[in-house]
Amino acid sequence: MPDFLADIDRKKVVVRRDLHFATTPGAGRAATNVAPAHTINGKKFEDHIIDQAMLLGATEEWTLYNDIVNNGGGPAHPFHIHINPFQVTEILNPAVSKDPFTLPDPWVWWDNIAIPPAAIPPDAAKEDKDKLVSGYIKFLSRFVDYTGAYVLHCHILGHEDRGMMQLVQVISNTTTVGHH
Ligand SMILES: [Cu+2]
pLDDT in tens, 36-56: 899 999 999 999 999 999 999
Q: How far is the CA of 73 from the centre of ligand 1 (A)?
A: 12
Q: How far is the CA of 36 from the centre of ligand 1 (A)?
A: 11
Q: How far is the CA of 79 from the centre of ligand 1 (A)?
A: 8
Could you give the domains of the chain?
3-171 (2.60.40.420)
DSSP H stretches of helix in 11-113: none
Q: pTM of the prediction?
A: 0.92
Longest dimension (CA), the chain: 69
Cross-strand partners of 142 = 59
Provide the Cα torsion 160, 161, 162, 167; round to 10°: 60
Q: How far is the CA of 161 from the centre of ligand 1 (A)?
A: 10
Determine the pLDDT at residue 93. 98
Contact 9, 107 (CB under 8 A): no
pLDDT 10s digits, 79-128: 999 999 999 999 999 999 999 999 999 999 999 999 999 999 999 999 99
Q: How far is the CA of 70 from the centre of ligand 1 (A)?
A: 16
Determine the pLDDT at residue 177. 77
Q: How far is the CA of 83 from the centre of ligand 1 (A)?
A: 20
Main-chain phi, psi angles of 20, to 5 degrees: -110, 115
Q: What percent of the chain has pLDDT over 90?
A: 82
